Amino acid sequence: MPRRFSPWNLVDRSASLVGELSLDELPRVKTVASSVEEGLSYEIQGGKDLLGNPSLAIQLKGQLTVTCERCLEGMPIPLECNSTLQLKTQVQAATRSGEHELTDDCDVLIVERDDKLDALDLLQDEILLALPLVPAHATIEECGEKVASLLSTQQTSNSGTNDEDKPSNKPFADLASLLGKAD
Ligand SMILES: [Zn+2]
For residue 36, what are the contacts with CB-CB under 8 A and spacing of at least 6?
21, 22, 23, 62, 63, 64, 65
Residue 175 has pLDDT above 90, yes or no: no
pTM: 0.72
Residue 64 has pLDDT above 60, yes or no: yes
- The pLDDT value recorded for residue 100 is 46
64 in Cβ contact with 35 (< 8 Å): yes
Give me the residue spans of the domains in the chain: 4-139, 144-182
Q: How far is ligand 1, taken at its centre, from the CA of residue 73, in Å?
A: 6
CB atoms within 10 A of CB 116: 15
* 182 SS3 class: helix
Query: Which DSSP state fits 99?
Result: S
Q: How far is ligand 1, taken at its centre, from the CA of residue 136, in Å?
A: 5
**Burial bucket for residue 110 (CB in 10 Å: 0-12, 13-18, 19+):** middle
Reported as a pLDDT band with limits 50, 70 and 90, residue 96 is: low
d(CA 137, CA 134): 10
Q: How far is ligand 1, taken at its centre, from the CA of residue 103, in Å?
A: 38
d(CA 45, CA 10): 7
8 in Cβ contact with 54 (< 8 Å): yes
Mean pLDDT of the chain: 82
Q: How far is ligand 1, taken at its centre, from the CA of residue 20, in Å?
A: 28
Q: How far is ligand 1, taken at its centre, from the CA of residue 135, in Å?
A: 9
- The pLDDT value recorded for residue 3 is 87
Q: How far is ligand 1, taken at its centre, from the CA of residue 133, in Å?
A: 14
- Of 142 and 115, which is predicted with more confidence? 115
**Burial bucket for residue 165 (CB in 10 Å: 0-12, 13-18, 19+):** exposed
Q: How far is ligand 1, taken at its centre, from the CA of residue 34, in Å?
A: 15
**Burial bucket for residue 57 (CB in 10 Å: 0-12, 13-18, 19+):** middle
Residue 162 has pLDDT above 60, yes or no: no
